[in-house]
C-alpha cells in the first residue's frame, strides 16, 4: 500500500505514462530495462510535437475567429458613420457594443444639425445630456459635445431662428457645469478644471451674443401675415406647438393680439400636449365662469411634460438592432424591414445605454 513520502514501486524501477498506458523501465544504475526506451523516447517526442502543433492550430484558429468578429463589429459599427449596431444581451454593455458617448460620436450629429428636420431633436438630446448624462461621456465625447454645441450656436446666430430654444439649452448646461465644477473630485469631468472654466466662459459669451441679436425686418414688400384673411391667420397659429410662440406673435400687432387670445386655440393646444385626465386635474375658471384654457396651459406645463414633436427621429430596428436616422438604409435581413423600425425619442435613445 503506497503511503505519503515514499515510492511504493520496486527500487531501481521507473514508471512513465505513455499513449499505451504506464510503461516500466529500469534506470541506468539497475543494469536492465523493461520495454524499448528508444521507442518510448521517439513516441514521447512525437506526442510532444503533436501537442505543440495542436496548440499552434488552436491559437491560430482562435486568432482568425477573433479577427473575423472584430472585422464584423467594425463593419457594423463604423459603416459610413450613419448607423450603429445595438447588441441585445445581458453583459456589462447590456444594450450594445458602445456607450452613450461612443454612439453620440458615431451618429454624426454635426451633420444632423444642418437638417432642419433633425435640429430640434439634436438640441433636445444635448439638453438631456447636459441635465444628467454629461459625466457619463468619455473625454472625447465631452469634447465632441462642446464642438457640436458651438456649431448649433453659430447656426442660430446666422439664421436668427430658434433663439429661445438655444438660450434654454445654454442655461441648462451652465447650471449643470456650475454644480459639477464645485464638486471636483466627486464627479467625472474629464480634463483640467481650467479647461472647463474656459468652456463656461464660452457659454456666457454665447448667451451674450444671443441676447444681442437684432432681428431686422425683411425688405420684402409683398403680402405679409397680417394681410391674410383672419381664418388663414388663425389656421397658421393653430400649427404652433408652443404657447410662448402664440404670446410673442400676439405682441406684434393689435389684431394678432385678439387672435392669440382665442379660447379654441388654447383649448386645442392643451388637448394636443396633455391627456384628459391631466386637464381635469388642473381646471381653471375665468370670471365669466368659463374654462380659462390659456391659464390652464401654462399651469399644465409646470406640472407635466409637453408632447415632443420632431420632423425626424432616430430609428431602432427591432429585428437586427440597428440604430440609424430615419430614411437611412441598413443591411436588415427581415422580410419586411419597414415594420421592424420604431422611432426613438431623445430620452429613449439615452435609455438604450443605461445599464
H/E segment holding residue 76: helix 37-78
Q: Cell 517526442 belongs to which residue?
A: 45
Does residue 247 belong to any structural domain of this protein?
yes
Question: What residues pair up with 16 in beta bridges, in sequence order?
Answer: 23
Mean pLDDT of the 63-84 span: 44
Residue 147, in any domain of the structure: yes
Q: Give helix 263-273 / helix 243-250 axis angle, nearest 10°.
A: 160
Same domain, 265 and 332: no
Q: Are residues 268 and 323 in the same domain?
A: no
Contact 273, 308 (CB under 8 A): no
Query: Quick one: pLDDT at residue 39?
Result: 46
Instruction: Confirm whether 52 is domain-assigned.
Output: no
pLDDT at 102 over 50: yes
Domain boundaries, position 156: 93-212
307-341: pLDDT as tens digits: 888 888 888 888 777 777 877 766 777 777 777 88
Same domain, 119 and 159: yes
Instruction: Assess whether 110 and 189 both reside in one domain.
Output: yes
52 pLDDT band (50/70/90 cuts)? very low
Better-scored residue on pLDDT, 95 or 28: 28
207 and 99 within one domain? yes
Is residue 251 included in any domain, yes or no? yes
Answer yes or no: do 142 and 201 share one domain.
yes
Q: Is 66 inside a domain boundary?
A: no
In contact, 152 and 159? CB cutoff 8 Å: no
What's the domain count of the chain? 3
Q: Verify that 126 and 160 share a domain, yes or no.
A: yes
- Whether residue 14 lies inside any domain: the answer is no
> What is the rounded average pLDDT of the residues 109-131?
88
Grid coordinates representing 247 are: 404670446
pLDDT over 70, % of the chain:
69
Helix (H) or strand (E) holding 325: strand 322-325
Q: How confident is the model at residue 25 (pLDDT cuts 50, 70, 90)?
A: low
125 with 199, same domain: the answer is yes
More confident residue, 79 or 352: 352
212, 233, 250 — which closes off a domain?
212
Using the Cα atoms of residue 168, residue 170, residue 171 and residue 173 in order, give the sign of their dihedral: positive
Which pLDDT value is given to residue 300? 92
196 and 113 within one domain: yes
Q: Are 103 and 200 contained in the same domain?
A: yes
Whether the Cβ atoms of residue 334 and residue 115 lie closer than 8 Å to each other: no
Q: How do residues 270-283 score in pLDDT, each as one tens digit? A: 999 999 999 998 88
What is the reported pLDDT for 11? 52
State mean pLDDT over 80-97: 41
Kindly provide the b/e burial profile for residues 111-120, where b requires at least 16 CB atoms within 10 angstroms of the residue's own CB.
Answer: ebbeeeebbb
**284 and 192, same domain (yes or no):** no
Is residue 59 pLDDT above 60, yes or no?
Answer: no
Per the domain annotation, does 208 fall within a domain? yes
Half-sphere exposure of 84 (CA within 13 A, CB side): 22
Instruction: Provide mean pLDDT across the span 60-75.
Output: 48
Domain match, 97 and 181 both: yes
Using the 8-state DSSP alphabet, how is residue 129 labeled? I
pLDDT per residue as tens digits for the range 242-260: 888 899 888 888 888 888 8
Q: Look up the pTM and report it.
A: 0.66
Amino acid at each position: 500500500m503506497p503511503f505519503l513520502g515514499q515510492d511504493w514501486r520496486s527500487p531501481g524501477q521507473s514508471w512513465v505514462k505513455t499513449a499505451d498506458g504506464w510503461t516500466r523501465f529500469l534506470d541506468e544504475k539497475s543494469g536492465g530495462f523493461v520495454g524499448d526506451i528508444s521507442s518510448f523516447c521517439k513516441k514521447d517526442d512525437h506526442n510532444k510535437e503533436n501537442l505543440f502543433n495542436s496548440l499552434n492550430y488552436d491559437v491560430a484558429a482562435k486568432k482568425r475567429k477573433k479577427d473575423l468578429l472584430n472585422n464584423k463589429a467594425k463593419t457594423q459599427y463604423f459603416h459610413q458613420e450613419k448607423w450603429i449596431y445595438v447588441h441585445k444581451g445581458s453583459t456589462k454593455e447590456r444594450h450594445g457594443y458602445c456607450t452613450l458617448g461612443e454612439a453620440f460620436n458615431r451618429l454624426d450629429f454635426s451633420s444632423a444639425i444642418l437638417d432642419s428636420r433633425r435640429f430640434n431633436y439634436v438640441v433636445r438630446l444635448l439638453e438631456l445630456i447636459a441635465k444628467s448624462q454629461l459625466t457619463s461621456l468619455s473625454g472625447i465625447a465631452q469634447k465632441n459635445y462642446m464642438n457640436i454645441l458651438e456649431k448649433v450656436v453659430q447656426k442660430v446666430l446666422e439664421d436668427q431662428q430658434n433663439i429661445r430654444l438655444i438660450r434654454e439649452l445654454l442655461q441648462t448646461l451652465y447650471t449643470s457645469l456650475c454644480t459639477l465644477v464645485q464638486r471636483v473630485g466627486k464627479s467625472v469631468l474629464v480634463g483640467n478644471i481650467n479647461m472647463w472654466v474656459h468652456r463656461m466662459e464660452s457659454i456666457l459669451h454665447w448667451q451674450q451674443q444671443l441676447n444681442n441679436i437684432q432681428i431686422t425686418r425683411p425688405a420684402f414688400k409683398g403680402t405679409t401675415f397680417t394681410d391674410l384673411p383672419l381664418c388663414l391667420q388663425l389656421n397658421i397659429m393653430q400649427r404652433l406647438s408652443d404657447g410662448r410662440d402664440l404670446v410673442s406673435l400676439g405682441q406684434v400687432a393689435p389684431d394678432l393680439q385678439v387672435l392669440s387670445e382665442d379660447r379654441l386655440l388654447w383649448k386645442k393646444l392643451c388637448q394636443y400636449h396633455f391627456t384628459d385626465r391631466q386637464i381635469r386635474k388642473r381646471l381653471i375658471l375665468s370670471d365669466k365662469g368659463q374654462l380659462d384654457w390659456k391659464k390652464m396651459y401654462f399651469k399644465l406645463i409646470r406640472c407635466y411634460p409637453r408632447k415632443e414633436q420632431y420632423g425626424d427621429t432616430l430609428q431602432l430596428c427591432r429585428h437586427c438592432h440597428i440604430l440609424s436616422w430615419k430614411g437611412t438604409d441598413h443591411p436588415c435581413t427581415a422580410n419586411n424591414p419597414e415594420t421592424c423600425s420604431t422611432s426613438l425619442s431623445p430620452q429613449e435613445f439615452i435609455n438604450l445605454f443605461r445599464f
